[in-house]
Amino acid sequence: MGVRNLDILIICSVLVFITVFAPFEIFFTFRDIWYDRWRKINTSELDTTKVKIPINNKKKHNCIVANVIASKDPYKIESKKVVIIVSHGLGDKKETLQYMYLPLAVQGYVIVSYDARGHGESKRVGKRSHFLKRIDDYREIVDWINKQDKFKDMKIYSIGFSIGGLVVLSGSFKEEKIEKIIAMSAISDYKRTVRRLNPIVLLSFLFKGIKIFPKEEEVNKLSPGRIFNNSKKELTEEQWNNLSKRVYLIHSKNDQVIKFHNFRENVSILNLPKQNQLIFRKGGHTSKKNEVALTSAILNFLKN
């Protein structure tokens, strides 16, 4: 009788697991189909070079894999003299935002789009849930760019989406060497946002090992809004104005993952002017169907 009860318990446990896990797998499958709706863009105007960027990592795998995409026309590159770091979202890869950054590369911007730890070709570097280490990796990528002879006379800009937006805001707001920062669908306060997530998204975070109750010290490092507030207290008015005016924020009002109040909080703390904001009425977390407008607005901000 005991064996039969054990069998029933095992069957019930498997059914519960499938019931909870299956929706996430279905969601990410359809999400990948959505992202892959764009045809792979092969243009003779660009060169793509795969590079391995060494980072400080205790594991055997201590290199972040990135694509360096640049125009074949040296005059275009010389006219911009800018390297743009692209940081993708959770569960994405370095190619996910191609629809946005390839047009920038055609204009002459040099793109460094990398697979974050736990993703794509950097999967073995560490866990995707280690957001603080991801910020450290980002800073080492900035250092790597500064050490490259071909980039030494170039400015550095950064673009990040979702968790990637958190990374570029938290990792480079105080770094004057990053002259422009663009964050799409970014968090303001990590603790408050994560605990108010949609239950399905919250469960997916738990499955991925993402911290729901991090220490206060970690929250301060993972919350761009807190970093902005602390910086405002520490800096002179001139220093603060110089740092804050470099930021451009993009968000959709109907974002159900990172709610729109995160955007409002960040805009309020930074006191961002209208020209440093892009708001979509619809589009959700990924600003879907707004890609052309998004890319155009980014180009306009970079040029100005």
Distance, in Å, from the CA atom of 227 to the CA atom of 244, rounded to the nearest integer, reads 12
Pair 46, 33 in one domain: no
- Confidence at residue 44, expressed as pLDDT on a 0 to 100 scale: 81
Model pLDDT for residues 61-105, shown as the tens digit of each residue: 899 999 999 999 999 999 999 999 999 999 899 999 999 999 999
Query: Closest by alpha carbon to 302, among 109, 141, 148, 140?
Result: 109
Pair 120, 235 in one domain: yes
What pTM, to 2 d.p., does this model score? 0.86
List the domain range (segments joined by +) for residue 204. 42-303
Report how many domains make up the chain.
Answer: 2
Model pLDDT for residues 153-193, shown as the tens digit of each residue: 999 999 999 999 999 999 999 998 999 999 999 999 998 88
Pair 62, 82 in one domain: yes
Stretches in the chain below the pLDDT threshold 50: 1
Percent above pLDDT 90 for the chain? 72
Distance, in Å, from the CA atom of 85 to the CA atom of 182, rounded to the nearest integer, reads 10
Pair 17, 134 in one domain: no
The residue whose two tokens read 């909870």 is: 20
Largest interatomic CA distance in the chain? 80
Pair 56, 141 in one domain: yes
Pair 228, 282 in one domain: yes
Looking from the CA of 20 toward its CB, the CA atoms found within 13 Å total 14
Q: How many helices (H) and strands (E) does the chain have?
A: 12, 8
CATH number of the domain bearing residue 297? 3.40.50.1820
